[in-house]
Structure 1
Amino acid sequence: MTTTTLPEKAQVERARPRLILVTLLTCQLMLILDITVMNVALPHIRTDLEFSATSLSWVMNSYTLVFGGLLLLGGRAGDLFGRRAMFIAGVLLFTLASLAGGLAPSAGWLLAARALQGIGGAMAGPNTLALLTTTFTEPKARIRVLALFSGMSSAGFAIGLIVGGLLTEWFGWRSVLFINVPFGLVIAVLALRYLPDLPRRAARLDLPGAVTATAGVAALVYGFISAASHGWAAAGTDIWLAVGAALLAGFVAIELRAPQPLLPLHLFADRNRAAAYLNVFLGPMAGMSMFFFLTQYLQDVLGMSSLATGFAFLPTAVLMFAMIRLIPRLLARFGPKPVTATGSVAMVTGLVLLTRLSESSGYFPLLFVAMVVMGCGIGLAFSPLNVIIMATVSPDEAGAAGGALQTMQQTGGALGLAILVTIFGTAARDTGGAPTHALVGGMTAAFAAAAVIAALTFLVALTFRSTRASR
């Protein structure tokens, strides 16, 4: 009697890398989408659950605060206790929290669910990147999958607005949380079946480092959130930022002496990796402003629906995805300096164009051109950074490096939004006049400040060594 066991097994083994890649990239897209998909639904959430104007921001902030504060711990815990187990546990917690959030009968219930989503995301996120790095070890394949991961992360911000608009318009705001449930369950099943269960290291978790890092990042993120809500002059803002800075200084001192540090500081010794980490911090400071302010401009000034607002970002999303295919070739041919520098220039150009917006500006040509340029710029400037940071990290430190990368990204985004929202509010008050006129005046001032931050990413990009990625 003939059997097909061996051919079928061979087919499964050939398909395994692709299934691993799909599993990990889908998880990353789900986590990133959750950051922006809620933006479009916020007005509906406020009405349904009776949020106040000031408390509504916590629908976003409760997730950001917990997610950003626990990323370093989640990454190092995966290094020590098993990345596959930590990844699956994080995905399942994120999925259950999404279900609970979609069923929320009250504002407090929803905020608690969002915080649990943040915990799950911090467990899964850095281990997603670590699993990619340790599974795809051949240099060319690693560069390709890291570029895909980075492109998925960047494009996810724009896609989240499109998906959020579609779901909110057709099925209501609860659907933006329920959509995570089937995806999360599929990811967990695929992870159980296909993800490698690598040997764990016999080591101890750096608990003093974990406490100071988690508390320090959480205090900084909370301070940035307070600045955005109450202004930089508020007493609470200064206190939280000072506490966060002190805790992080203590964290560095602990890491310098720890035999098995939560964050190996020698990761920053390589010039290219250190510059990439800095731009991972600066990039979201500038780039997030486009999504945050243009969402309001399209709806409050141009009068677009939530569905039309989502699709308005389609050029940016398409161009970001196009960069996914180009980045491995461009890095191999030119190296990181010209690729990231060109992207930074394009990003500055797009933000400068957005400073020309007025109450009478239509979508074409100004907004459309700015979104196209921004899509190219964000893709070229920031998609290579994951590759630069993770391509040469040792397997034992992949989780720590990935946690540091995503922590820099989250804190950069929170700080940037706090700075730009404060500039927006000040400029709007100084502009005066009709509400729409003040709104546009504040936005253009924020875009000008974002262009200055983007210019800093260009200066950092010039410090990259003129080396090419491994072929």
Structure 2
Amino acid sequence: MHTHVLSCDVTITETSPVTQEPGAAAPAGQSWTPRLWGVLAVLCAVLFLDGLDVSMVGVALPSIGTELGLSTTSLQWIVNGYVLGYGGLLLLGGRTADLLGRRNVFLAALGVFAVASLVGGLVDNGTLLIVTRFVKGLAAAFTAPTALSILTTTFHEGPARNRALSIFSVFGASGYSSGLILGGLLTSFGWRWTFLTPVPLAVLALVAGIALIPRDKRADEGGHDLVGAVTLTAGMLLAVYTVVSAPERGWLDPVTLGSIVLAVALLVAFVITENKVRHPLIRLGILRVGSIVRANISIIALFGSFLSFQFMMTLYLQDVLHWSPLKMAMALLPIGLLVAFASPFVGKLITRYGTSRLIVSSMVSLSLGYVWFLSTAGDSPKYLVSVLPTMLLLGGGFAFGFSSIMAQATDGIEDAEQGLASGLVQTSGQVGAALVLAVVTALVASDGQGSGDFGQFHPGVNLVTGIAVLGLAFNVLPLLGRRRQPKHA
């Protein structure tokens, strides 16, 4: 599952979820006119569309691989191409919106998203399909932070903005849930429909956005860290490519060694750039804050294990168990439903118990989910015994962990760096997920490109279980340390 955390240079005050229903009286201080509702509808539609697109394509992966003759290694790039495009330029996306105008950037990126979707549904070449996914990821890197920036500058701070954010935040998970069912239905007619269906929806959102979103001014000062964006994205892409290709080519092969050296050099160049430019993508000093470091590691454990497990599940249920796309989508649906319905209540739990305890609970739930699946799944698992409990544990773990990690990442951070902190943790999640998925894919593909049974996926599930357990240990140790500290007056 892919979920956007939107980043921009704005201040967002975290509050308990707003319980006011849409259509009720407008909160005090700002009248909710039809145009204001229209702006919110456009922004929510784009977030919904992203969740819809990601889950539909996930369901279609086995069908895509069969028709285009793609191996497991190539299929993972359909996921990772999007993830890396999004994660690599997310931080730049928010800054670009400030410099060029939020409305202009949002509408242009939405147009690119629509075109890339159309091309992806028409191509007959796996490489071109992967390129369209990367382009869509790039577009999302600009629509995501810009959408939140438009929302927070359109709705007044206080009850009106909190209400809008509450409505807005539900649409990503709802899109994911809907995409599972719709993806299963569309894939039954042909995987291309999972790419083509978002096109008219994106065009409608684009037309409505042109009519409804107010114009805004560009920033008077500041600049792009283009070198930082290029070196970071190129370094991440090369690192993932090296991990994916090394098992087949050999870790000591000259091409592999050269790729490793070049990837490291690009990432080192990124660090050097961030220390020298006037407007860096990432102010590296922010990494001295312990809560931010813990949040970034936690999101890697959450996204890395979850996305990789979902990738394996789509192949396992369809290729090994020969489930139909719709049956597989229904099997995964409890995850999306739990995230959609539980997320609005997490804010109250954070207020009562704090982020650290909820993150620990999340990692426990994820770890138990993977362990349960390892111990009960096989070549002919029973849904109620193996799959459903796993989905419930993973859905609960994601719902509690995602919001809690984001709250921890921004807790105590100065207003001017709230956007940087939230963007940084999202980037870590996407990049970490891409690297974990690359390793998992290498493990799965190394088993004869498909042994036709659960054993093919066993090493990959072992890995994601270990990552979740490490995430749990990393969050438990600070809590134990606090309890052991002597109490002084």
Give the TM-score normalised by the residue count of structure 1. 0.82
Asked whether the equivalents of residues 280 and 409 of structure 1 are also in contact (C-alpha less than 8 Å), the reply is yes
Asked whether the equivalents of residues 83 and 130 of structure 1 are also in contact (C-alpha less than 8 Å), the reply is yes
- For 1:186, the equivalent position in structure 2 comes to 204
How far 1:355 sits from its partner (Å)?
0.9
Structure 2 gaps, min length 5? 1-25, 483-489
Determine which of 105, 110, 132 is the counterpart of 1:91: 110
Determine which of 337, 353, 356 is the counterpart of 2:356: 337
- For 1:365, the equivalent position in structure 2 comes to 385
**Counterpart check, 1:284 vs 2:303:** yes
- For 1:382, the equivalent position in structure 2 comes to 402
Alignment of 1:47-446 (within 5 A): 48-49=67-68, 55-107=74-126, 109-132=128-151, 138=157, 153=172, 159-169=178-188, 171-195=189-213, 197-201=215-219, 202-227=221-246, 236-356=255-375, 357-389=377-409, 400-425=420-445, 428=447, 435-436=451-452, 439-446=453-460
Rounded to whole Å, the distance in 2 between the matches of 1:47 and 1:360 is 22
Rounded to whole Å, the distance in 2 between the matches of 1:106 and 1:270 is 46
Rounded to whole Å, the distance in 2 between the matches of 1:267 and 1:183 is 39
**Counterpart check, 1:455 vs 2:469:** yes
Asked whether the equivalents of residues 187 and 194 of structure 2 are also in contact (C-alpha less than 8 Å), the reply is yes
Instruction: Report the more deviating stretch, 449-458 or 373-382.
Output: 449-458
Asked whether the equivalents of residues 319 and 379 of structure 1 are also in contact (C-alpha less than 8 Å), the reply is yes
How far 1:16 sits from its partner (Å)?
5.6
Rounded to whole Å, the distance in 1 between the matches of 2:254 and 2:174 is 37
Write out per-residue CA displacement over residues 31-60 of structure 1, whole angstroms, 9 at most, x where no aligned residue: 344334223323443454565776555444
How far 1:223 sits from its partner (Å)?
3.0
How far 1:281 sits from its partner (Å)?
2.1
Asked whether the equivalents of residues 235 and 267 of structure 2 are also in contact (C-alpha less than 8 Å), the reply is yes
**Counterpart check, 1:31 vs 2:45:** no
Rounded to whole Å, the distance in 1 between the matches of 2:410 and 2:155 is 11
How far 1:309 sits from its partner (Å)?
0.6
- For 2:485, the equivalent position in structure 1 comes to none
Change (3 A) 1:200 1:329: same
Rounded to whole Å, the distance in 2 between the matches of 1:311 and 1:91 is 29
How far 1:416 sits from its partner (Å)?
1.0
Asked whether the equivalents of residues 283 and 454 of structure 1 are also in contact (C-alpha less than 8 Å), the reply is yes
Change (3 A) 1:51 1:348: closer
Change (3 A) 1:58 1:254: closer
The letter of the residue matching 2:463 is A
Change (3 A) 1:155 1:302: farther
Change (3 A) 1:320 1:148: farther
Rounded to whole Å, the distance in 1 between the matches of 2:58 and 2:194 is 10
Change (3 A) 1:107 1:451: closer
Rounded to whole Å, the distance in 2 between the matches of 1:450 and 1:103 is 34
Change (3 A) 1:18 1:409: farther
Partner SS for 1:355: helix
How far 1:29 sits from its partner (Å)?
3.4
Partner SS for 2:457: helix
Rounded to whole Å, the distance in 2 between the matches of 1:13 and 1:163 is 32
Asked whether the equivalents of residues 79 and 398 of structure 1 are also in contact (C-alpha less than 8 Å), the reply is no
The letter of the residue matching 1:246 is A
Asked whether the equivalents of residues 255 and 265 of structure 1 are also in contact (C-alpha less than 8 Å), the reply is yes
Partner SS for 1:272: helix
Asked whether the equivalents of residues 99 and 178 of structure 1 are also in contact (C-alpha less than 8 Å), the reply is yes
Rounded to whole Å, the distance in 2 between the matches of 1:92 and 1:377 is 35
Identity in percent: 33
Asked whether the equivalents of residues 127 and 399 of structure 1 are also in contact (C-alpha less than 8 Å), the reply is no
Rounded to whole Å, the distance in 2 between the matches of 1:109 and 1:155 is 29
Rounded to whole Å, the distance in 2 between the matches of 1:72 and 1:190 is 26
The letter of the residue matching 1:255 is E
Change (3 A) 1:55 1:257: closer
The letter of the residue matching 1:325 is P
Rounded to whole Å, the distance in 1 between the matches of 2:474 and 2:156 is 28
How far 1:311 sits from its partner (Å)?
0.8
Asked whether the equivalents of residues 324 and 383 of structure 1 are also in contact (C-alpha less than 8 Å), the reply is yes
Give the TM-score normalised by the residue count of structure 2. 0.79
Asked whether the equivalents of residues 79 and 399 of structure 1 are also in contact (C-alpha less than 8 Å), the reply is no
Change (3 A) 1:332 1:175: same
Rounded to whole Å, the distance in 2 between the matches of 1:239 and 1:280 is 30
How far 1:368 sits from its partner (Å)?
0.9
How far 1:379 sits from its partner (Å)?
0.9
Change (3 A) 1:100 1:296: closer
- For this pair of structures, how many residues does the alignment match? 451
How far 1:155 sits from its partner (Å)?
6.5
Write out per-residue CA displacement over residues 190-226 of structure 1, whole angstroms, 9 at most, x where no aligned residue: 4334445454322222233233223223323333443
Write out per-residue CA displacement over residues 395-447 of structure 1, whole angstroms, 9 at most, x where no aligned residue: 76566555433322221111111222334455x47xx9x934xx312323322
Query: What do you get for the CA RMSD once the two structures are aligned?
Result: 3.6
Rounded to whole Å, the distance in 2 between the matches of 1:247 and 1:315 is 41
